[in-house]
A and B are shown apart, each in its own frame.
Chain A
Amino acid sequence: MAAITTGGAGPERADALAVAPDAPDARAAAGSPREGGSGARQRRRITRRARLRRDKTLLLMTIPALALVVVFNYLPMFGVITAFEFYDPLVGVMHSQFIGLDNFRQLFGDPLFWTAVENTLAISAVQLALYFPIPIMLALLLNTVVSNKIRAFVSAVIYLPHFFSWVLVISVFLQMLGGAGLLNAFLIHHHVTPWNVMTDPSTFKLLVTSQAVWKEAGWGVIVFLAALAAIDPALYEAAAADGAGRWRRMWHITLPGMRGVIVLMLVLRLGNALTVGFEQMLIQRDAVGHEAADVLDTFAFYYGIGTSNYSYGAAAGLFKSVISLLLIYGANRLAHAFGEDGLYRK
């Protein structure tokens, strides 16, 4: 399921993952008894057992979470074998007929599948170009607001839509831009040809991008605000003393200070290039038609579960997962090439 969470999870994941890599360092600094001969090994085995006894309550506490993760995350990973089977719900995963790569052969010859791939990549590209810079600009703007009260109020307002469901967001857009919405009431009132934005396939990519911006751009600001807050104010003061104006300070201090976070978010975005608002597409598919709204996730849903051809959908899902992993790896290589950490260090 994790693979189909919407793009909004991006910024949240980013800082959690940035936390993770420092754990090994801390442990190494604390000194693990890895070096030494048999005597050291002997001591280590005793301490291991002692540590196990000491920490058994802590281990016990992790069991409920581990159990849920094993059942609902790891079992499905083994469930990908259904992609190589002709899965029959009545006989189960273990006893379904194994058919090798037939599902994939069928998939790669399916024009609907390639439409879904194309839509996914195109929507991702539009979002990268039009969505990605907005939280950065908003953060820069908010950061220059001196009054704490105003800044807190504005951020409270722009974070809010992040907590709305996609159904709610699309209902709002429907009322604003739909056939009976505010925009068309205005157009009709002024005798202009009405334009139902919600059912127009030609502008659908822009529509979904603007929905994503409305819902998540405010929330995306948090990560960049944090990066801005971490910049040493003394740098600004020194630059100002040297005669740098506010634009020069932004160029030479603010932007370099944000570089790491920007690259990290970019890596995440590229790694998630195949994940574009699953529920968002699902809800609007009927209105705008499947040629425009089918992406990889909805393809797996409609042609897997909708038609009870589960193995076919599983094959499409597996294709997506594999390409996504390659993308994350590639994006990280790219980040390392630019001298940044990315998701994990080299």
Chain B
Amino acid sequence: MTEVGFEGALAPGKLSQAAPPRRSSGRPVWEEPPTTAGQFGKGTVLVVVMALVLVPLYCIVVTSLSTQGAINQAGGLVLVPHGLTLDAYREVFGNGTVTRSLEVTFGITLVGTLISMVVSVLCAYGLSRFRSFGHRTILMVLIITMFVSGGLIPTFIVVTELGGYDQYWALILPNAVSVFNILVLRSFFSSTSTDLIDAARLDGAGEWRILWSVVLPTSRAVTAVIALFYAVGYWNTFFGAMLYMPTDQQKWPIQYVLYQYVNLGMTMPGVANSGYGGIHQQAAPLSLSMAVVVLTLLPILIVYPFVQKHFAKGMLTGAIKG
């Protein structure tokens, strides 16, 4: 719909055809008025769908903020907040394993996203020019990896034979390149106006300069979206840790710690024999694990709204082009 509207704005002569007259409600005039039952049913389904996503998250946040008393009273997860406290978070941040894993995960996410973005943007730009030398061969080499893969064990063997065991790079480099992301970037880069690029070249700009000053600034939305994809991927690193650093707790990313605590029911060090020496009231184990869940969730919830509006737009236009 938005695409058509945009075209209409460019070509005023087509305006009446492209943007049919709408009532004040935004509904086209030819469409029959909605039935009450239909509206009600539609509304109910949408509310239920959203509740399925939001209610569990809400329960988890509230429980992480609840006292042991409130949790006991509710018999588990707390639905109605009362007796809120930050004790669980104080406890979790006083716990070396969780703080350490947050540091590790932030580090992996920052470094990994940087590497992935530099490599992918360069590659996408390098392949974005029609009729440039060898770009189809390189594209083929990349696309083949989307269908054919050596599999889990051979990849593991390659990484360990390169000395990746217990190394942070083993969590970053094997998945640093996503061919899908390169293809999306490439399709946006190649739609950059050739006039702009030619003008820059006349002004003496080389390829690096054109990429940095012309192509990237005009593709900000898609670049942000791809950076989010990569960053989320690194933030969610889990299996890599299980594979390459199963024993070294100091190197565990937050997802693996969450897995240990919540899914395997590992006791948190420093909880049983509380490091607080009884000054603070002991936080409930359930609120503790929920606090770890919230900490895993929080960075995504913080970044999401800023990028989400871009990606809805960016992905849609990308998909329509396809």
User: A residues touching B (Cβ–Cβ < 8 Å)?
Assistant: 1-4, 9, 12-20, 23-24, 26-27, 30, 48, 51-52, 54-62, 64-66, 68-69, 71-80, 82, 87, 89, 92-93, 138, 141, 144-148, 150, 152, 154-161, 163-168, 170-172, 174-176, 180-182, 184-185, 188-189, 214, 218, 222-223, 225-227, 229-230, 232-234, 236-237, 240-241, 245-246, 278-279, 282-284, 286-287, 297, 300-301, 304-305, 310-311, 313-314, 317-318, 320-321, 325, 328
Contact = CB atoms under 8 A, between A and B. Distances in A.
Given A58-B125, A167-B258, A185-B75, A68 B177 contact: yes
B180 A310 contact: no
Contacts of A164: 236, 297, 300
B315 interface: yes
B154 A64 contact: no
B148 interface: yes
A202 B179 CA distance: 38
A176 B56 contact: yes
A318 B151 contact: yes
Contacts of A180: 76, 286
Contacts of A236: 28, 30-31
Q: Provide the main secondary structure of the chain A interface.
A: helix
Contacts of A68: 119, 173, 176-177
A165 B237 CA distance: 8
A223 B320 CA distance: 9
Contacts of A171: 258, 262-263, 289, 293
Interface of B: 1-4, 17, 20, 25-28, 30-32, 42, 45-46, 49-50, 52-54, 56-57, 59-60, 63, 74-77, 79, 118-120, 122-123, 125-127, 129-136, 138-139, 141-143, 145-162, 173-177, 179-180, 182-184, 187, 206-208, 211, 232, 235-236, 238-239, 242-243, 255-256, 258-259, 262-264, 286, 289-290, 293, 296-297, 300, 304-305, 308-309, 312, 315-316, 318-322
B322 A57 contact: no
Q: 7 nearest interchain CB pairs?
A: A76-B150, A79-B154, A317-B151, A61-B126, A65-B123, A165-B236, A18-B322
B181 to A, nearest CB: 9
B30 A240 contact: yes
A2 B160 contact: no
Contacts of B76: 175, 180-182, 184-185
Contacts of B118: 64
14 contacts: A2-B145, A2-B149, A19-B318, A61-B125, A65-B120, A68-B173, A79-B157, A138-B49, A154-B50, A164-B236, A245-B32, A300-B151, A313-B153, A321-B150
Contacts of B296: 165, 167-168
B122 A62 contact: yes
Contact of B304 (A30, A58, A163, A240): A163
B136 A24 contact: yes
B174 A58 contact: no
Nearest to A77: B150
Contacts of A16: 179-180, 183-184, 187, 322
B53 A147 contact: no
A74 B59 contact: no
Given A1-B152, A297-B152, 15 more contacts: A13-B146, A30-B130, A48-B133, A58-B132, A76-B154, A164-B236, A165-B236, A165-B238, A165-B255, A175-B56, A182-B77, A225-B316, A226-B319, A314-B151, A325-B147
Nearest to A312: B153
Contacts of A246: 31-32
B31 to A, nearest CB: 7
Considering residues B49, B176, B235, which has the most beta carbons from chain A within 10 angstroms of its beta carbon?
A: B49
Nearest to A1: B155
Contacts of B147: 325, 328
A54 B162 CA distance: 36
A321 B145 contact: no
B134 A59 contact: yes
Contacts of A93: 157, 161
Contacts of B211: 61
A300 B126 contact: no
Contact of B31 (A66, A240, A282): A240
Contacts of B46: 141, 145, 150, 154
Contacts of B263: 167, 170-171, 174, 283-284, 286-287
Given A175-B56, A313-B152, A282 B239 contact: yes
B293 A2 contact: no
A172 B297 CA distance: 11
Nearest to B74: A185
Contacts of B30: 236-237, 240-241
A19 B183 contact: yes
B260 to A, nearest CB: 10
A60 B127 CA distance: 11
A152 B305 CA distance: 11
A233 B133 contact: no
Contact of A305 (B2, B56, B156): B156
Contacts of B156: 305, 310
A225 B173 CA distance: 34
